Homo-oligomer: A and B are copies of this chain.
Amino acid sequence: MAGNSFGHLFRVTTWGESHGPEIGCVVDGVPPRIPLDEADIQHWMDRRRPGQSRFTTQRGEPDRVRIVSGRFEGRTTGAPLAMIVENVDRRPKDYDDIARTYRPGHADFTYDAKYGVRDWRGGGRSSARETAMRVAAGAVARKVLGDGVAIRGAVVQIGPHAVERDGWDWNEVENNPFRCPDKAMAERWGAFLDGVRKRGSSAGAVIEVRASGAPVGLGSPVYGKLDADLAAAMMSINAVKGVEVGEGFALAAEPGETAADEMAMGEDGPRFLSNRAGGVLGGISTGQDVIVRFVVKPTSSILHERRTVDRDGNETAIRVKGRHDPCVGIRAAPVGEAMMACVLADHLLRHRAQCG
């Protein structure tokens, strides 16, 4: 019920603002006796960390995570795991000019309208800074899932430029600053985003996240469907405006004859001959790859002047300076992976509870 928690049995609660002293999370329900080190978390934090290329924000945050409870002698204890990250590069003064003016595309107006008060320092609670703790929680979720489950994310479209499926190479994802699985497209994106940056503009993106090795049977019909929870998980990420599973929206135009995945017998039992469903049928995992895509809108903070209003009801215009990602979608890939991990870990525990 609480708005700042996610999941049921593997339950993540995050707190903290973009320019507050610290951000943190509590992960409750973690199974005991799982070996866990700060380094296990840090590995994933570093993949999301800002400032790793000229295509992401230059805010200098080391994102050092501290585990302050729930671990004893190197293993989880079953008690809530609390993690804290210090906000090092705080510059609240940078935001003085937006203290009273609503930035288009941001949550400034809606937070003010809802709460009548707003921490305007870098967006406060509505900032994507919060997603750092999702990645921390996701790192724990991966531990719960174990080595048999691999969760990987890739950026598959930036602006109007989508990757070719034929050129897909997972190894490329860590080789370019875009998490692009298509080497040729990565180069094209570089040129495209340099142009975007120089124009003071921004670009949207589509991210694909795949989980391999997830067991069959995860998901709880009819409202706790695996894909329903994945949809909520991805849509809750900042700037996300759409989510699809498997072939997604393309299935509208697909004829019935080819839309459903046929089955045959494999060496280990029933297997599917295709995966248009994205690994989920009736809300339950099929044992195939679980495949989700989501769209991230262009970063709203751009150098172009846009019309807006202020708190006092005056019409005005704004041009948002500061340190922003020209394509926030790039850093959303590790966040999408983390949310996938959290959803799967939660459903793993839920499945174990009901079905043993």
Contact = CB atoms under 8 A, between A and B. Distances in A.
A27 B30 CA distance: 20
Contacts of A260: 104-106, 297-298, 300, 306
A201 B296 CA distance: 35
A18 to B, nearest CB: 10
B4 A295 contact: no
Interface stretch (A51-59, A77-85, A168-176, A177-185): A77-85
A86 to B, nearest CB: 10
A256 B202 contact: yes
A296 B205 CA distance: 24
The listed residue with most B CB atoms (<10 A of its CB), out of A23, A116, A251, is: A251
A117 B33 contact: yes
Interface residues of A, number: 148
B256 A246 contact: no
Interface of A: 1-6, 8-9, 11, 13-17, 20-24, 26, 28-33, 68-70, 72-73, 75-82, 102, 104-107, 109-111, 113-119, 124-126, 130, 157-160, 196, 201-206, 216-217, 219-225, 227-236, 238, 241-249, 251-257, 259-265, 269-270, 273, 277-278, 281-287, 295-300, 302, 304, 306-309, 313-315, 329, 349-356
A126 B221 CA distance: 8
Contacts of A270: 102, 109, 309, 313
Given A159-B252, A222-B236, 5 more contacts: A32-B354, A73-B117, A203-B256, A228-B232, A263-B308
